[in-house]
């Protein structure tokens, strides 16, 4: 049956293309340049000023990053959606800035004020001082 043969070919092509797209997506990450040199990682401490959810850009008032950036407020792309969702305007954070050529982005976001779990008791739990 001719019709079925064509259908099978079309199906193969469709599957092949899907597999191909998936492969290249996961291999390169989000918008990664085809540059084989590893990204440099810097520690970033700062305050989230503003977020742009459509572009996944965070405006962060950062402390000086030794060897890369003076203390300044600037836009940082956050490539990882899960990382971007951790950010809240007005929050103090620590994070990593990855720099690769002209490209840079923020990841490993942590709340800077977050105490280690169970470390500090809440003031209201403390017994009244005598």
Which residue's C-beta sits nearest to Cu ion? 74
For Cu ion, which is the closer residue by CB, 22 or 50?
A: 50
Of 97, 116, 100, the residue nearest 108 (C-alpha) = 97
Give residue for tokens 């291999």: 27
Q: In degrees to the nearest 10, what's the CA dihedral of 86, 88, 91, 96? A: 40
Binding site for Cu ion (CB under 5 A): 69, 72, 74
Please provide residue 36's backbone torsions phi and psi, each rounded to the nearest 5 degrees: -85, -10
Residue 66 or 125 with smaller CB distance to Cu ion = 66
Q: Which is nearer to Cu ion, 69 or 99 (CB)?
A: 69
Tell me the closest approach of the beta carbon of residue 107 to Cu ion, in angstroms: 17
Work out how close the CB of 72 gets to Cu ion at its nearest, in angstroms, rounded to a whole number: 5
Cβ closest to Cu ion, residue 80 vs residue 104: 104
CB of 74 to Cu ion, least distance (A): 4
Q: How far is the CB of 47 from Cu ion (least distance, A)?
A: 15
């Amino acid at each position: 049956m001719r019709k079925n043969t064509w259908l099978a070919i079309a199906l193969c092509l469709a599957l092949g293309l899907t597999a191909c797209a998936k492969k290249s997506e996961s291999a390169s990450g989000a918008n990664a340049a085809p540059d084989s040199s590893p990204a440099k990682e810097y520690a970033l401490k700062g305050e989230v000023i503003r977020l742009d959810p459509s572009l996944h850009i965070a405006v962060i008032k950062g402390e000086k990053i030794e060897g890369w950036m003076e203390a300044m407020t600037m836009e940082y792309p956050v490539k990882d959606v899960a990382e971007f969702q951790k950010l809240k305007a007005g929050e103090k954070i620590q994070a990593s800035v990855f720099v690769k050529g002209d490209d840079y982005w923020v990841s490993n976001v942590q709340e800077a004020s977050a105490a280690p779990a169970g470390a500090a008791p809440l003031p209201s739990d403390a017994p009244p001082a005598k």
